[in-house]
């Protein structure tokens, strides 16, 4: 972790919504990424970034391998309704996104590659995986209550 990222994470932890501008410092290969659903879908789910990470929607679309296996489409307007408050197929005791609780959101477990996940770390094509800054911004959206904006 770079010093700059470390500092930004401390700021993010210490601040409420007013400090979200600081997260721009950690967005790395997706400089326009902000902690909103529309930005996360546009910059992470739909986009292959400059660090070589594959777009999630390559597989998570209605015709893709991941949709057949776990029923998760990240490519369309259905994505929000398939993530927020919906039980994971792989670990049904966990929600894919538990509003306000990134530590108990299976989406976060899968992009961090936590012990206890079923299947592989996402993106399944990785490495490259998401950077710690990208993950921090997704966590922040969930902490904000995972709003649909």
User: Which residues of the shown chain bind ligand HEC in the complex (CB under 6 A)?
Assistant: 44, 54, 56, 58-60, 65-66, 69-70, 72, 88-90, 96, 106-107, 110-111, 119-120, 122-125, 130
- Residue 19 C-beta: closest distance to ligand HEC, Å: 25
Cα distances from 23 to residues 26, 55, 95, 121, in angstroms, run 5, 21, 25, 24
**Nearest residue (CB) to ligand HEC, 12 versus 107:** 107
Nearer to ligand HEC, 50 or 69 (CB): 69
CB atoms within 10 A of CB 82: 17
Token duo for residue 148: 């649909």
Report CA 39 to chain centroid distance, whole Å: 11
Instruction: Report the nearest approach of ligand HEC to the CB of residue 109 (Å).
Output: 8
Count Cβ atoms below 10 Å from residue 143 Cβ, excluding itself.
19
- Nearer CB in complex with ligand HEC: 18/148: 148
Q: How many CA atoms lie less than 13 Å away from 5 in the CB half-sphere? A: 12
CB of 26 to ligand HEC, least distance (A): 17
Closest approach of Cβ 64 to ligand HEC, in Å? Answer: 7
């Amino acid at each position: 972790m770079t010093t700059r990222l470390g500092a930004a994470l401390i700021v993010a932890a210490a601040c409420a919504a007013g400090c979200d501008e600081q997260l721009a410092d950690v967005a790395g290969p997706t400089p326009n990424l902000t902690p909103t659903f529309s930005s996360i879908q546009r910059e992470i789910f739909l986009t292959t970034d400059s660090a070589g990470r594959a777009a999630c929607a390559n597989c998570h679309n209605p015709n893709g391998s991941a949709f057949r296996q776990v029923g998760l489409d990240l490519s369309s307007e259905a994505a929000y309704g398939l993530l927020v408050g919906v039980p994971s197929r792989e670990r049904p005791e966990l929600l894919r996104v538990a509003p306000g609780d990134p530590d108990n959101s299976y989406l976060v477990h899968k992009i961090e590659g936590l012990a206890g996940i079923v299947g592989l770390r996402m993106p399944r094509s990785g490495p490259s995986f998401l950077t710690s800054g990208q993950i921090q911004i997704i966590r922040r959206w969930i902490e904000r209550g995972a709003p649909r904006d």
